[in-house]
Chains A and B, each alone.
Chain A
Amino acid sequence: MPDTVIDTYQEQMQELQGSLPGWDGARSNALDRLRTIGLPTTRGEDWRYSDIKAIRNTAFGLMKTPARNPQVPEALCDVAARLVFINGRYHEGLSDLGDLWQAASVRPLANHLMANAERVSEMRQGGDGINLLNTALMRDGFVISIPAGIEIDDPIEIVHLTSDADSTSAHIRHLVEMGEGASATVLERFVGDDTAYWSNSMLQARITEGATLNHVRLQEEGANATHTATAMVSVGAGGNYHATNISLGGSLARFEARVRLLVDEANATVDGVALAGTGESHDMLVHIDHRMPNTTSDQIFRTVADARGKSSFQGKVTVATDAQHVNADQSFKALLLDRTAEANAKPELEIFADDVKCSHGATVGELDEKAMFYLTSRGIDPTTARQMLVEAFTDDAFDRTGNDTLADGIRARVADWMLNHTGGSND
């Protein structure tokens, strides 16, 4: 990583001094560390499938507010609240907190840190170069805190819109805290125009005893965007974290979920669908850390790649010594629509306990020509037939979004994607 790039980020960091209460020290520590370790390269195991050379060698500017507000996409279902971020900044006018503020605490990160200076220490400050840059250049985010026993039925939607943002980056941090027995769905959406921007977000979640968080991510960044995102999640006794990551946009997209199952009976499901269009790279890395006995996890990933598209999955499961009776399953299936498409699957199981059940499976294949002929021989046109087969292929990854209307809305997005990506050489 060239010094000039780091120096530019140093200047940006100085510009941000004082913008988040109590955070300045974390910023400069992170930047010092970044100067040492640099941004990730494909030589490191975790980033072997995502080549971010372009980002490593170029200093991105701080994202600026666009001259005109972009169109906010329609909601996919009824929502409890809608938080809108434009070019990395919270936009109060376009947001709608609904009645959520009555049941839960929902506020911008700056307000949270102002009121709770001591909680800075709970915010993640380390990690890889991508996380460090998030720490160093973070400007905005939301803190959603659901009190014990409160169940929020409709999703809390966070829309990240990016527009007119060439060569600039936004580093957002959200915190989600689930009180005992609370439940909620957080729907993160990412939408952008065709400028070459970089969106680097992080969501930290703490799920306490018996609480459930559904975390749904619908990533529809612009065609030239780079999208990097990290979820850092800890789950307490009997708590549940259900993540569904749908990766449709961007030229390079990567989502990393690190989940620690800290107490007995904690459960995590991390599912995902990635549709890699022509020349795109979509990468998902999951690490589920079973620290204690009787914890369970399941991962279902389905990816589809068109010409020169690349989909990658790394699923790591660790089971600590004495974490007996752990159940951990993992299923990855990739569909290649073209001969030049690529799929990578890397299951990693590190098991230090002896009485556990862990399974993993991975398959890579093409659209079934026999099924295609069968469908078309019943009067279904080839485009619709491909859509049906891809939908069927991806379908079981949508079962745990916790909201049927939302799941159907996402399915429709997948079908739309198929209209434009039918795998030319299979015609």
Chain B
Amino acid sequence: MLTVKDLHVAVDDKEIIKGLSLEIKPGEVHAIMGLNGAGKSTLANTIAGRDDYELTSGSIEFEGKDLMELEPHERVGEGLFLGFQYPVEIPGVSNLNFMRTALNGVRKYRGEDEVSAAEFMKLVRAKASELKMDPDMLKRFVNVGFSGGEKKRNEMVQMAVLDPKLAVLDETDSGLDIDALKVVADGINAQRRDDTAILLITHYQRLLNYVQPDVVHVMIDGKIVKTGGPELAAELEEKGYAEVA
């Protein structure tokens, strides 16, 4: 589903990702673990298409398509989703309007009809309820005044509404208390199917107790230095990055 080959990415002329390769197949959950500054968020943002990240060499293919040829919104149309480490507050835009415009944007890209207001409300209410989000938060401005946990929950509701093929979740577990962490984990597990894939980017093993990955990668200084099964996460937690890598 996602094939990253010898990826090099620079931000402000400084190379952050220094030759990274990765292959994710349908049905798989991958976790990339690494310390701050390893380049994990750079990888997530490059996959999603943030324009101040410059791909200097290598390639990213999503279902056989060169992602670099696509604008960020087109990537979403193809079935990609980025869960933000720091979801953005947008005063003046209601959460409902935001999600409905997003869903219709994706549908338009795929040549499908727009979702009706009634259909959309039914969908979004169901997803919000599954993720235990207060329905009032749907009417509020996007992420404005939301706590850290509420923002991450909102990311999960957006993911559920857009139903992506591949979700890249950047530090979705950071800043969450244990209850919020479980809700987020439930959201991720609900998105886990034979035809979808998930890339978890995380600093800690904590989330992986609730979302069991198939493959764990250790990222240090812009490269994947070690790949293994779920036991690798436990080993990292126990021994630390220096020893394992």
Q: Is B140 an interface residue (CB 8 A)?
A: no
Measured CB to CB, the nearest residue on chain A to B88 is: A374
Most B-side CB within 10 Å, residue of A368, A371, A376, A395:
A376
Most B-side CB within 10 Å, residue of A373, A384, A391:
A373
Q: Which residues 126-184 in B have Cβ within 8 Å of A in the complex?
A: 158, 162
Q: Is A393 an interface residue (CB 8 A)?
A: yes
Contact with B along A369-403 (1 / 0, CB 8 A): 01101111111111011001101110110000000
Q: CA–CA, A384 to B91, complex, Å?
A: 16
Q: CA–CA, A393 to B93, complex, Å?
A: 9
Q: CA–CA, A389 to B89, complex, Å?
A: 12
Q: Which residues 44-78 in B have Cβ within 8 Å of A in the complex?
A: 48-51, 71-73, 76-77
Q: CA–CA, A396 to B92, complex, Å?
A: 8
CB pair B71–A382 under 8 Å, yes or no, is yes
List of A residues within 8 angstroms of B77 by Cβ:
379
CB pair A378–B93 under 8 Å, yes or no, is no
Query: Which of B87, B88, B105 touches A379 (beta carbons < 8 Å)?
Result: B105
Interface size class of B (residues with CB under 8 A): 20 to 34
Q: CA–CA, A417 to B185, complex, Å?
A: 43
CB pair A380–B88 under 8 Å, yes or no, is no
CB pair A389–B93 under 8 Å, yes or no, is yes
CB pair A380–B105 under 8 Å, yes or no, is yes
Q: Which residues 87-115 in B have Cβ within 8 Å of A in the complex?
A: 87-88, 90-93, 97-99, 101-103, 105-106, 109
List of B residues within 8 angstroms of A375 by Cβ:
90, 98, 102
Most A-side CB within 10 Å, residue of B82, B84, B99, B101:
B101
Q: CA–CA, A382 to B51, complex, Å?
A: 13
Q: CA–CA, A193 to B61, complex, Å?
A: 51
Q: CA–CA, A391 to B50, complex, Å?
A: 23
List of B residues within 8 angstroms of A378 by Cβ:
73, 76, 98-99, 102, 105, 158, 162
List of B residues within 8 angstroms of A382 by Cβ:
71, 73
Q: CA–CA, A196 to B158, complex, Å?
A: 50
Given contacts A379-B162, A380-B73, is CB(A374)–CB(B102) below 8 Å?
A: no
Most B-side CB within 10 Å, residue of A375, A379, A385, A388:
A379
CB pair A370–B103 under 8 Å, yes or no, is no
Distance in angstroms from B164 CB to nearest chain A CB is 9
CB pair A395–B92 under 8 Å, yes or no, is yes
List of A residues within 8 angstroms of B49 by Cβ:
376-377
Total A residues in contact with B, Cβ cutoff 8 Å:
22
The tally of CB-CB contacts under 8 A between chains A and B is 73
Q: CA–CA, A379 to B104, complex, Å?
A: 8
DSSP class of B's interface residues: helix, strand, loop or mixed? helix
CB pair A381–B73 under 8 Å, yes or no, is yes
CB pair B73–A374 under 8 Å, yes or no, is no
CB pair A374–B84 under 8 Å, yes or no, is yes
CB pair A373–B72 under 8 Å, yes or no, is yes
CB pair B91–A392 under 8 Å, yes or no, is yes
List of A residues within 8 angstroms of B90 by Cβ:
371, 374-375, 389, 392
Measured CB to CB, the nearest residue on chain B to A395 is: B92
CB pair B103–A379 under 8 Å, yes or no, is yes
Measured CB to CB, the nearest residue on chain B to A387 is: B101
Query: Which of B72, B88, B109, B162 touches A370 (beta carbons < 8 Å)?
Result: B88
Query: Which of B72, B91, B99 touches A376 (beta carbons < 8 Å)?
Result: B72
CB pair A371–B88 under 8 Å, yes or no, is yes
List of A residues within 8 angstroms of B73 by Cβ:
376-382, 385
List of A residues within 8 angstroms of B71 by Cβ:
376, 381-382
List of B residues within 8 angstroms of A384 by Cβ:
101, 105
Given contacts A374-B87, A377-B48, A377-B49, is CB(A392)–CB(B72) below 8 Å?
A: no
Measured CB to CB, the nearest residue on chain A to B83 is: A377
List of B residues within 8 angstroms of A370 by Cβ:
88
CB pair B92–A393 under 8 Å, yes or no, is yes
List of A residues within 8 angstroms of B51 by Cβ:
373
Contact with B along A337-350 (1 / 0, CB 8 A): 00000000000000
Distance in angstroms from A386 CB to nearest chain B CB is 12
Q: CA–CA, A304 to B106, complex, Å?
A: 28
List of A residues within 8 angstroms of B50 by Cβ:
373, 377
List of B residues within 8 angstroms of A381 by Cβ:
71, 73, 105
Query: Which of B48, B101, B103, B109 touches A388 (beta carbons < 8 Å)?
Result: B101
List of B residues within 8 angstroms of A374 by Cβ:
84, 87-88, 90
Contact with A along B3-19 (1 / 0, CB 8 A): 00000000000000000
Query: Which of A371, A373, A380, A396 touches B101 (beta carbons < 8 Å)?
Result: A380
Distance in angstroms from B143 CB to nearest chain A CB is 9
Distance in angstroms from A134 CB to nearest chain B CB is 37
Q: CA–CA, A378 to B32, complex, Å?
A: 22
Q: CA–CA, A410 to B93, complex, Å?
A: 17
Most B-side CB within 10 Å, residue of A368, A375, A377, A393:
A377
Q: CA–CA, A411 to B18, complex, Å?
A: 48
Given contacts A374-B87, A384-B101, is CB(A379)–CB(B92) below 8 Å?
A: no
Report 9 cross-chain contacts, Cβ distance below 8 Å, ordered by A residue. A371-B90, A379-B77, A379-B102, A379-B105, A379-B106, A379-B162, A380-B101, A388-B97, A396-B92
User: Given contacts A379-B76, A379-B105, could you give 6 more A-B pairs where the C-beta distance is less than 8 Å?
Assistant: A374-B84, A378-B73, A389-B92, A389-B93, A391-B92, A396-B92
Give me the 8 closest cross-chain CB pairs, A-B, nearest first: A392-B92, A379-B76, A378-B102, A374-B88, A379-B106, A379-B105, A376-B72, A380-B105
